[in-house]
Amino acid sequence: MTAEIAPGGSGWSVEYQQESTQVGTGNRVVQGFTVGFVTGLGAHGSVFVPRDTYTPDAVRLAIAAQAAQLDAIATLTSQS
Indicate the domain borders of the chain.
Answer: 35-75
The pLDDT, as a whole number, for residue 53 is 96
The pLDDT, as a whole number, for residue 77 is 85
DSSP 43-62: -EEEEEEEGGG-SHHHHHHH
Distance CA 22, CA 78 (A): 36
Distance CA 20, CA 60 (A): 18
The pLDDT, as a whole number, for residue 46 is 98
The per-residue pLDDT for range 1-23, each reduced to its tens digit, is 444 444 455 699 999 999 999 99
The per-residue pLDDT for range 37-61, each reduced to its tens digit, is 999 999 999 999 999 999 999 999 9
Q: What is the DSSP letter of 75?
A: T
- What is the band of 78 on the pLDDT scale with cuts at 50, 70, 90? confident
Phi, psi torsion values for 31, nearest 5 degrees: -85, 140
